[in-house]
Amino acid sequence: MGQRLTLLLRRIRIRIVLIVQSSDARKIGIDFYPHFESAAFLRSVDIIILSVPLIELEDAVNALSSDKVAGKLIVDVSPLNGHPKDVLLKAYGDQPDVDILVTNPMFGPTPSRSGESLSSSSVESSLWDGRPMAYEKVRVNNVRRCDQYLKIFEDARCQLVEIDSDQHDASTADAQLVTHMVGHLLDNKLLPPTPVMSHEYSALNEVAEMTASNAFDVFFGMFKYNKRAKDYLMAMRENLADVERKLAAREAYLTARAEMKQNDRQQLLAETKLLLQELAKSGLLTLEEPGPQVLVEGASSD
């Protein structure tokens, strides 16, 4: 997520700081400033974007003291919106001058094509074009600044969807959680590469690649802070067990039917033999051995 945001934000003239993990900063090629050096750096920015795993979000927010964020817009880009909303309101609820925007850019990793780099124009365009981004303006005083930020994604042809955080988490976030669950169940052993792939098989490969490219902490955060996560995990277990039961039942039925057919055939042969024997005993049927046949050379068969 951080790399995609970096590619997009580099093209605009707006003072934004992207807060990520130090390891992510090295990967996406941006400067990293530790917390103890952030005061002077944050003083010159207008928007603070939080792009950290959900399990580290609270620590990242707590590291931003009140004087560092006063008068700024704080944007979260997590797959869940409810938890970040609660964390930010808890931290800055008594600071009305701090604007809060929670978003979920639902992009997912898209690999480069034909060796193209992620920053190439064609690949970069495909990263955003038509992709949905859900958001809620939790508290916004500077409407112009917030709209300016959202317009960045609108200009990139994203599909912007304004939705309440609870409603988002009860629908979109649940779907993402299930998608990631399925992705983590799949791997190269279950989805080996094939020279010809159906559309469905290709879609499963994309899901597996997406989850494999994300750190496990991303998925764990989705699981930990989704109230329905354990219910979905239980349902997935039950569904898998149900599939196993149906397969076993079908196999048992077909085996039993084959055995019954074999038994019926043997019983029919036995009954037929017994009937023929009874007819022979009663004289109604004469069982004769076929006599030898003599073939005379030159004789006509007429």
Q: Which residue has the higher pLDDT, 293 or 185?
A: 185
What per-residue confidence (pLDDT) applies to 120? Answer: 47
Would you list the DSSP string of 86-108? HHHHHHHTT-TTSEEEEEEE---
The confidence band for 242, taking pLDDT boundaries of 50, 70 and 90, is very high
Q: Which residue has the higher pLDDT, 113 or 230?
A: 230
Among 78, 79, 72, 76, which Cα is nearest to 97's? 72
Rounded average pLDDT over 187-192:
80
Q: Is 136 exposed, middle or buried (0-12, 13-18, 19+ CB in 10 A)?
A: buried
Q: Which two three-digit tokens encode residue 233?
A: 């995990």
SS (H, E, C) 266-288: HHHHHHHHHHHHHHHHHCCCCCC
What per-residue confidence (pLDDT) applies to 113? Answer: 44
What per-residue confidence (pLDDT) applies to 174? Answer: 86
Angle at the Cα of 263 from the Cα atoms of 261 and 266, rounded to 5 degrees? 110
The confidence band for 241, taking pLDDT boundaries of 50, 70 and 90, is very high
The confidence band for 108, taking pLDDT boundaries of 50, 70 and 90, is low
* Residue 212 to residue 158: CA distance in whole angstroms: 24
Q: Is the pLDDT of residue 9 over 90?
A: no
Cα 134 to Cα 61, 81, 101, 105, 266, distances in angstroms: 21, 9, 11, 6, 68
Q: Residue 157, by phi and psi: left (phi above 0), alpha (psi -120 to 50) or beta? A: left
Q: What rounded mean pLDDT belongs to the chain?
A: 79
* Residue 52 to residue 19: CA distance in whole angstroms: 7
Are the CB atoms for 69 and 95 separated by under 8 Å?
Answer: yes
The confidence band for 291, taking pLDDT boundaries of 50, 70 and 90, is low
Cα 195 to Cα 84, 113, 201, 209, 210, distances in angstroms: 43, 17, 12, 18, 21
Between the two ends of the chain, the Cα-to-Cα distance in Å is 94
Cα 51 to Cα 103, 115, 220, 237, distances in angstroms: 11, 27, 15, 32
Angle at the Cα of 68 from the Cα atoms of 21 and 40, rounded to 5 degrees? 80
The confidence band for 168, taking pLDDT boundaries of 50, 70 and 90, is very high
Rounded average pLDDT over 144-152:
92
Q: Which residue has the higher pLDDT, 74 or 125?
A: 74
The confidence band for 33, taking pLDDT boundaries of 50, 70 and 90, is low
Q: Is the pLDDT of residue 53 over 70?
A: yes
Are the CB atoms for 157 and 164 separated by under 8 Å?
Answer: no
The confidence band for 32, taking pLDDT boundaries of 50, 70 and 90, is low
Enter the pTM of the model: 0.70
3-state helix, strand, coil in the chain (%, to 5): 55, 10, 35
Ordered domains of the chain (ranges, CATH):
2-164 (3.40.50.720)
Lowest mean pLDDT among 38-47, 51-60, 189-198: 38-47
Rounded average pLDDT over 133-153:
94
Angle at the Cα of 253 from the Cα atoms of 247 and 257, rounded to 5 degrees? 150
What per-residue confidence (pLDDT) applies to 116? Answer: 47
Per-residue pLDDT reduced to its tens digit, 110-127: 444 444 444 445 445 566
